[in-house]
Amino acid sequence: MKRITILAMLFAFISMGAIAQVKEKHHESHNIKENIDTEAHAMMYADKVTTRLNLSLEQKEKIQEAQMKRLQHEKEMMAEMMHDTGEMGEMKKKKMHAYEDEFMADMKNILTPAQYQKWLTMHEREKKMHY
């Protein structure tokens, strides 16, 4: 009887270790995938804007950087929401609006005035679709 109990405890202990390793590997691969997805998303966004607005290569690269920064801010905000830092909802809204204003300013600096006006129309349409 003692042998059965000891074997059951040993089996449970080994199983828990194996599950922990699998979860850790999954978490690591998820972080890597997130970074790749963020980069891929920024590249696709830059490609789309480049095609629609006929941008130069330099503009495309700058837009990709601005989009990466924007996505990183979004990721940070999501992490804060998941871990609820206790920050009031109004403060979070102000922070999100500040990030959006920063992105808009980046786009205004990258694009010509005509391109920016076209982009604004495109951006507003996309915001309505997503929100």
Q: For residue range 63-101, what is the model confidence (pLDDT) as tens digits? A: 999 999 999 988 888 777 777 656 566 777 788 888 899
pLDDT in tens, 17-29: 555 554 455 445 4
Domain count, the chain: 1
Full-prediction pTM beyond 0.85? no
Residue 67: other Cβ atoms inside 10 A:
22
**Which token pair is 95?**
């922070």
Our CA angle for 91, 96, 97, nearest 5°, is 95
List the domain range (segments joined by +) for residue 92: 2-130
